Amino acid sequence: MSEDKKPKRGLDRRSLLLGAAGGVAVTGAAAAGFVTLDRQARSLRTPAAVEGGPAQIAESFQDSRPAYAEAVTAPADAPNIIVIVLDDIGFADLGCYGSEIATPNIDAIAGAGLRYSNFRTCAMCSPTRAALMTGLNHHSAAMGWLADLDSGYPGYRGDLTHEAATLAEVLQEKGWNTLHVGKWHVNVAHTNGANGPTDNWPTSRGFDRAYWFQGHSTDYFRPGELLEGTAPVEPPDRPGYFVVDDLTDRAIAYINTQKSIDPERPFLLQLCYPAGHSPLQAPAADRDTYRGKYDIGWDGVRTERLKRQQALGLVPETTVLPPLAPGFPPGRPCRRRSRSCSPATWRSMPA
């Protein structure tokens, strides 16, 4: 058959209608499929979060709106804070306050800052700590006396009250990293054991990390018990160990770790040295440095300190010394084992 006599192929009306109907069916099926997929996606898709408000809970997931918790961050210009607590140190025991004891690093800090000369203390370590940590009168912090015995009365519990927030608890909630190193001594004695209760131990009172010891004192060369958080740990086994140096090393390590992990986060470090609290112990080299310097006795030492305080402008030139205790003769020389003959205990601080 010649090419011009072959039947010509084309779309007749029947084919066109059938094709159109099929296309509509396919298109409709696809559209229905997309609707189904969209509905399924809506049931799985997380709705937009609520900004700064509580989550909105509806009858279905797609009609609810979440609210995400954000980490608390301190202000951009928030400072690092270091609080150094020195046990049983008097007003004139630091060089910057007229002492003959060499404390050059503390003196440098004082020279670049402020030296207060009108303040009060609570006469004992536990009340002073409680007042410092809470900002309250020590009786209001339940620490009218040492943290060892509960008298049965609110002001003399010997156990830091939970009705007052500590500085660490406040700053922890505001985004600071909080660290405690050293002596604690604001929890009642019967809670000192390994089984607690630990509700008044450092990590329960606002401190993220703590390297510390219980009670009012410890052996400087062989600490009875040190704790990391709530776990007892052995002191480092090294020649020449001295607990003040150990506490300083741990404080530095805490800061280095914190700054390595989260350098923008400010920190609070509460560093509590036991020196010069009893037992009066110091490395031999520090002890020997001051040999013979205190042969002038109590009266001579305090007279010389007052002169230096007057020269520094810390007290008026008209200031006079209070009388010595009854029965304590003026000019009495220091005995070998008396408290004033152990300035190396103070010097043993990283001063």
The CA distance from 219 to 243, in Å, is 8
**With contact defined as beta carbons under 8 Å apart, do 127 and 138 qualify?**
yes
Of 185, 216, 272, 334, the catalytic one is: 185
Residue with tokens 């609110």: 154
DSSP conformation class of 143: B
Report the DSSP beta bridge partners of residue 273: 86
Q: What is the CA radius of gyration of the chain?
A: 36
Q: Choose among 309, 333, 304: nearest CA to 319.
A: 309
Phi, psi angle pair for 143, to nearest 5°:
-125, 60
185 flagged as catalytic: yes
**With contact defined as beta carbons under 8 Å apart, do 80 and 265 qualify?**
no
**With contact defined as beta carbons under 8 Å apart, do 231 and 209 qualify?**
no
Residue 178 zone, left/alpha/beta (φ > 0; ψ -120 to 50; rest): beta
334 flagged as catalytic: no
Q: List active site positions.
A: 125, 185
